[in-house]
Amino acid sequence: MATKVFVPRLGEGVDEVTVTKWLKQEGDSIKELEPLLEVNTDKVDTEIPAPATGVVLKIIAQEGQVGKVGELLAIIGVAGEEVDSNQLSVERATPTAVSSQPSEQSVINDRPQTAEREIGFISPVVAKIAAEHGVNLSQITGTGLNGRITKNDVLSFVEGKSASRITNYESRNTQSVIRNQEPMLGDQLIKHTPIRKSIAEHMVMSKHTSPHVLTVMEADMSKVAKHRSANKSLFERDGVNLTFTAYFMSAIVAGLKHYPIVNSSWSDEGILVRKNINLGMAVSLGEDGLIVPVIKNADNLSLLAMARAINDLANRARSKKLQPDDVKGGTFTLTNHGTSGSLFAFPVINQPQTGILGIGAMQKRVVVIDDAIAIRPMVYMSFVFDHRILDGASADWFLAKVKETLENWS
């Protein structure tokens, strides 16, 4: 019995994907929920699992091809089964009405369409976890956006299972990418990846959209470093790695609360001040570029919750487990370029936001405190802002509040 694999809907407003890599080729055997291919949308790489066990009979969409939601990607069946023209004639399906021929099972949203309750989009991670625990997803009420079933919903449904098991499951499936390069005999053309193209377009658009202005301040991180040393082991007991990023994010929240105009966007009608504080954080993907997942409602998070959210998003970004919704809705962005040794930089604003804060490498430097020479862990903070919205004074007030919050941490 042949199974058709269609482009799934990966999030609200996501209507198309780019096929970046087939993990299986025609003739290869594959198990249900085993990764079949990788697709990219809005800089997010997502693995699409196989909806059935069998053999890849036909690959329809080639690497680099753009496919709209509901379009046919591949056909899975049994070894030796032939794919006829009738099977290829149904080139498009919809999440609510999937066309099916006799003796075939049409699949979309990473799962078979059955007579059970409609459960909507299920992410690859949720599908894998559910399969591992033998969970029938139709019995779970989702708490995510538009009733989507989340990882935590599955976890809550499984009695006697701990969150650490789910975390360990994802860690086991994290794959590292190793690039082997042959010796160069001359000029080499490195073809653009979808992520690199997206970054280029977004950066050029940003520089053409906003008049960028840079202001820099230096912060004494002594109290933050002391607090982190005293609490790092306590956070580890809760499975959380307490990084300096959590402190910077919390300090940004303090600055945005005092100066809400920084948490805004420009429009022709006026300045739109955002109610929610959704903080983006730039995560390096190595040679593949970077991505900016977003911590929603960051102003409601404690330091522990902030650190946990940072750990989660960073890990999922590097292991290609992010969903399109994870990179949407940001109102301000942090980029910690100091992790590579940079002292200060001139980041590009993540449109349509008003500003972006760059954090340089923390170094012990000689400073003067109360007319005395002292050695302190210091860090440069580079704030780039949209001069249409902020003037030099208002930008400095915000950055000074971030500095004050860090230097008086308790």
Q: Which residues are catalytic?
A: 387, 391
Longest CA pairwise span in the chain (Å): 86
Structure tokens at 237: 């007991």
Q: Which residues contact 102 (CB under 8 A, 6 or more apart)?
A: none
| 59 close to 19: Cβ distance less than 8 angstroms | no
Q: What is the dihedral of CA 134, 137, 138, 140, to 10 degrees?
A: 110
d(CA 393, CA 381): 16
Structure tokens at 68: 């709209």
Q: Is 145 helix (H, G, I), strand (E, B) or coil?
A: helix
d(CA 151, CA 135): 12
Residue 173 buriedness (CB in 10 A; 0-12 / 13-18 / 19+): middle
- DSSP-H helix ranges across 92-193: 124-133, 151-157, 163-172
C-alpha distances (whole Å) from 274 to each of 145, 261, 264, 265, 396 are: 20, 8, 5, 8, 20
SS3 readout for 153-177: HHHHHCCCCCHHHHHHHHHHCCCCC
C-alpha distances (whole Å) from 189 to each of 109, 153, 185, 285, 304 are: 36, 46, 12, 21, 45
Instruction: Return the DSSP state at 30.
Output: E
Residue with tokens 């790489």: 45
d(CA 107, CA 120): 12
